[in-house]
Structure formats: C-alpha cells, structure tokens
C-alpha cells in the first residue's frame, strides 16, 4: 500500500509542478489590465474580512482564544489590527501574545507539521509592520522577535512541505530581507547605483509604503548622501530624487533635508532638476503661503535659496532668448547672477516672437505657469523680438532690454508703471518701461562693456545697490 501511496504522491507532485503559474509577456494593454484585475481578485478572495479580523483581535485581547481554538491559526492575519482603535494595542505589539503565537507554531513546525500558510501570513506581517509614533524601541524588539522566528524556521518550513506555495517562491531569492542588517545591505545597494534592484525586490515581495523597511532605508540613504562633500552630494541628487519618488510618504521631509544641505554648499547656483522637482511637488515659494504650506517647514536660508532659483530661471531664460551673438547676453547674465540672492521679485515682459516660442514648447509653458510665474506681454516696440526683464533689489526696480535699449534703474517712487500688470509698454511715455529716458536717459547704455564689473558696480552704487 505504501508503494502505491508513494507513487501517487510523486504523480501529484509532478502534476503540481507542471501546473505552477507561468510568467509570460502580455503586450496588449487591455489584456494586461484584465490579467492584473483577475490576479488582484484571486488574492483578495482568500483574505479574511476586516470585520472578522477585528472580532478575532478583540477575542484574543479578552483571552477568548487559545492555542486549542479553531480560529487560532487565523490570528496570523490580524497581527496589526488595532483593538478598539488603539494603534498601540495589537497582537504584534503585545509581547506575551506574540510569544504565545510563535511558540505554538515553533512547536508544530518541530513536529513536522506543514504550516506554510501561517508562515506566509507572518512573513507579510513582518514586511507590513509600520513604525508608530510611540515607543519605537518596543516596536524594534517585537520586529526582531518576529524576524528571528521567520529566519530560523524557514529551513524547516521547506523541509516539512510536500510542495512549496507559489506565494513563497521569492523568499530564498530575497532571504537577506530576513537578516538583522537588511536595511544596511539594501541601503548600500541603493547608494551603489543599483536602486532598481531594491525597487524590484519591494515589488516582488509587495512591501507597502508604510513599512518599516522603507522608513529605515530612506533615513539611511538620505543621511549618507547629505553628509557627502559638496561635489559628491550634487552628483547624488538624481539618486535622492528617485528615493523621494519611491518613498513618497517621506518625500516632504526628504525635500526639506535636501534643500537645507544644498543651502550649506559653497555654490548654491541652481540645480535645474532639483528645482523642477521641488516646484512640482510644493508649488512656487513666492507669494502668500498658507499656514500649512510645506514651504513653512524650511529655515530662512533654505527658503531664500529656493526663491533665488525662481529668479535665476527667469534670468537664464531671458538672456537665452537673445538671437545672434550671445556674448553680451552671457556677460550680462553672469553679472546679474552675482546679485541673485538679493533679488526680491522678477518677471519677464515678452514680445510677440518670444510669446510664440513659449506657446510652442511645453517645458516653457510649465515654467511660465500663470499661477506660478506669469509673464507680461510687451507692447509698443518696433522690433517683435524685443523682450525685457523686470526685477527688484532693495526696492529698486531694474529693467534690462535684450535689444539695443540698455538697462533702466528706478529708485522707489521714480516710476508710474505697475510691475504686476499683464501688459507692459516698451515706450518712454508715462507708464512705459523706459519713462526714465526722457529726463535721465538710460542707466546703463547698450554699448556698456559688461565684462567691466568694477565700472558696473560703480553705476549701481549711485543707486544705493
């Protein structure tokens, strides 16, 4: 009889092996979507309903369940269910109850029982555990207790099983997640430029955003990078931005720490990728901010750096619009960048040609978003390629024209135009951007040598700059 049973066992094993789910490539997006929905529904069908989980947690809390209870095995699915809404009162955070559960399973494993499903639920509970605001040292102790059980019992789980569950197929592949230094290992992999390995591992194991794993990895990687020297820190900014995208729950804190580190650099010249990322996440740092605005979490130095990037973007785009020989435009840009941290306000006034350029390029449309950085239309100039930039330093308005008309400097109270209006006029009449011309002439002539920094500073000193 035993031979027949053995043959039958071998036969069943071969059938199970041949019927394991196969990985295959799906190119049709509709089929792929339907496949993902089917997989999701299949996974959900085996889960215990949330109301039943809560009931089980309550019964365990009131000692109505013990090792001999029929529902004891279901407790592996309720480790993180809070009793009475108290996040600190869970099976996982209760030393006595978790020890009771693990001791029972350890005994059954040593007796040769196949409890793969229970082990799988405990494995997911380990990966799903989220660090709460209270008593983090106790959380760490409980996590270590669960980790020790999982890593020590895994060889016997495989030994006791006739057929390993498909859901456990990746345990050996990523066994290092159960090592005591897991986060140090994966943090170093991330820092070595192999972040996709970490991301793929988390995807395969279905590690949620709230997991302790992501929080520890985030802290370890960010702490390491912000302690680099300036050069290595800036080279690692792309790595930081990927980390912030991956650890979305910690993104705001990551932006704050990254900006504060950047502000301590010897050179705070704009990093376009970092600036675009932060502006997209937080909006513009300029203007009135709500009390809850994330910009309010920054110290003054970091906030001023972020604001200066807004003005630097305007300056760089303005002088980049110069056609023909750009030597003079680059010299003017270089000069005004020396004052970038003193600029309080900046805005472009664009002629017809530049307006069309903005409208034709989506990247420029994002930069000149009407809610974040609107530009004015420049009217009244005979040259359609004419543009102007308006900026303010110490309450003094400076207007630089890109073609032939020089630069105008207006002390407080010496002009009648409104810098915020939607249309500006390239005229010397009252209300025009050149209204100073009739009485005082141009402040810095068009033929000025912008490489002569000393002479330019003398001119600005006359206006109190």
Q: Per-residue pLDDT for the chain (465 aa), expressed as one digit of tens each?
A: 445 545 544 554 554 455 444 444 555 666 666 656 655 554 544 455 555 555 666 655 556 566 666 677 777 887 888 877 666 778 888 898 899 899 999 999 999 999 999 999 999 999 999 988 777 889 999 999 999 999 999 999 999 998 888 889 899 999 999 999 999 999 999 999 999 999 999 999 999 999 999 999 999 999 999 999 999 999 999 999 999 999 999 999 999 999 999 999 998 888 989 998 998 888 888 765 666 788 888 888 999 999 899 899 899 988 988 876 788 889 999 999 999 989 998 999 999 998 998 888 888 888 887 777 788 899 988 889 899 999 999 999 999 998 877 899 999 989 999 988 899 998 888 889 998 887 788 889 888 888 899 999 998 998 888
Domain match, 76 and 204 both:
no
Domain match, 299 and 336 both:
no
Task: Select from 142, 157, 178 the last residue of a domain.
Answer: 178
372 lies in a domain? yes
Task: Select from 153, 178, 203 the last residue of a domain.
Answer: 178
Domain match, 186 and 173 both:
no
Residues whose CB falls within 8 Å of the CB of residue 257, separated by 6 or more in sequence, listed in order: 222, 226
Expressed as residue numbers, the domain containing 401 is 316-461
With 0.85 as the threshold, say if the pTM is over it: no
Domain match, 97 and 208 both:
no
Element (H or E) spanning 56, and its range?
helix 50-61
Edge-to-edge, what's the strand order for the sheet holding 396-401? 407-410, 396-401, 387-393, 343-350, 376-379, 423-425
Helices 136-160 and 95-110, axial angle in degrees (round to 10) = 10
Three-state DSSP at 25 gives: coil
- Separation of alpha carbons 366 and 240, rounded Å: 23
Is residue 289 within 8 A of residue 296, CB to CB? The reply is yes
Domain count, the chain: 3
280 lies in a domain? yes
């Amino acid at each position: 009889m035993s031979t027949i049973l053995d043959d039958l066992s071998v036969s069943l094993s071969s059938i199970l092996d041949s019927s394991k789910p196969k990985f295959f490539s799906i190119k049709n997006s509709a089929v792929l979507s339907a496949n993902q929905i089917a997989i999701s529904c299949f996974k959900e069908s085996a889960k215990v309903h949330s109301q039943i989980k809560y009931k089980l947690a309550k019964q365990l809390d009131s000692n109505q369940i013990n090792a001999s209870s029929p529902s004891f095995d279901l407790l592996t699915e309720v480790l993180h269910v809070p009793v009475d809404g108290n996040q600190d009162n869970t099976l996982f955070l209760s030393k006595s109850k978790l020890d009771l559960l693990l001791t029972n399973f350890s005994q059954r494993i040593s007796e040769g029982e196949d409890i793969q499903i229970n082990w799988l639920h405990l494995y997911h509970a380990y990966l799903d555990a989220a660090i709460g605001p209270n008593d983090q040292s106790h959380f760490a102790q409980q996590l270590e207790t669960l980790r020790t059980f999982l890593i020590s019992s895994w060889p016997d789980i495989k030994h006791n099983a006739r057929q390993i569950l498909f859901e456990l197929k990746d345990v050996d592949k990523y066994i290092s997640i159960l090592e005591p230094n897991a986060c140090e290992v994966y943090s170093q992999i991330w820092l070595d430029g192999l972040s996709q390995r970490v991301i793929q591992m988390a995807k395969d194991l279905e590690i949620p955003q709230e997991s302790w794993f992501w929080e520890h990895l985030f802290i370890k990687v960010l702490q390491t990078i912000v302690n680099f020297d300036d050069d290595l820190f800036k080279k690692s900014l792309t790595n930081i931005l990927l980390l912030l995208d991956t650890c979305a729950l910690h993104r705001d804190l990551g932006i704050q720490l990254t900006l504060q580190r950047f502000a301590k650099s010897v050179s705070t010249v704009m990093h376009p990728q970092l600036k675009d990322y932060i502006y997209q996440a937080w909006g513009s740092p300029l203007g009135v901010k709500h009390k809850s605005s994330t910009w309010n979490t920054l110290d003054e130095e970091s906030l001023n750096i972020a604001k200066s990037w807004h003005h630097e973007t305007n300056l760089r785009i303005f002088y980049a619009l110069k056609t023909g020989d750009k030597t003079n435009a680059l010299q003017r840009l270089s000069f005004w960048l020396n004052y970038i941290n003193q600029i309080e306000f900046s805005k472009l006034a664009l002629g017809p040609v530049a307006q069309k350029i903005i409208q034709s390029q989506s990247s420029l449309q994002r930069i000149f978003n009407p809610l974040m950085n609107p530009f004015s239309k420049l009217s009244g100039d005979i040259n359609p390629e004419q543009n102007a930039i308006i900026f303010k330093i110490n309450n003094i308005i400076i207007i630089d024209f890109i073609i032939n008309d020089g630069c105008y400097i207006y002390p407080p109270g010496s002009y009648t135009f409104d810098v915020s209006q939607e249309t500006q006029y390239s005229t010397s009449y009252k209300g025009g951007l050149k209204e100073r011309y009739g009485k005082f002439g141009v402040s810095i002539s068009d033929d000025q040598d912008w490489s002569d920094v000393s002479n330019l500073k003398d001119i600005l000193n006359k206006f109190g700059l």
